[in-house]
Amino acid sequence: MWWWSCCYEGRERRDEGRGTKDEGRGTKDVRDEKTFYKITIITIITIITCFHEVKIILNNNQEELEGERLTVSELLKVKKFSFKMLIIKINGRLVKRESYDKEVIVDGDNVNVLHLISGG
């Protein structure tokens, strides 16, 4: 695609008058300018989303997870905790099973996931 190379190399495209406008300084391709802005916006969004990570302590281990915050249910899915009998504590506070979808884990939280096992 010719507009891709024009955008990154900064060349002006002069062709048969398709997609051009006259700004008093010569002919400039409008498609190059639009493409440049689209790529710039996509790059900015990518940079912003890449740097959002939650740094928590999970069971005494430092963990970095994607996103600004996540719920207890999301944490259990991401870390693949599937055991039915779990006790979750965030910063020493017990989290009830009913509030797993509502309880939010933010950057810097200390989370403990305990497996209840019984036997004889």
Render pLDDT for 50-94 as a digit per residue (tens, 0 to 9). 557 889 999 999 999 887 779 999 999 999 998 889 999 999 999
Tens-place pLDDT, residues 83-119: 889 999 999 999 999 999 999 999 899 999 999 988 8
Range of the domain at 45: 2-50
Are residues 59 and 25 part of one domain?
Answer: no
Tally of domains within the chain: 2
Are residues 111 and 58 part of one domain?
Answer: yes
76 domain-assigned: yes
- CA–CA distance, 29 with 3 (Å, rounded to integer): 9
Q: What angle do CA 112, 115, 120 make, to 5 degrees?
A: 145
105 domain-assigned: yes
What the block records as the tokens of 106 is 């933010």
Are residues 40 and 75 part of one domain?
Answer: no
15 domain-assigned: yes
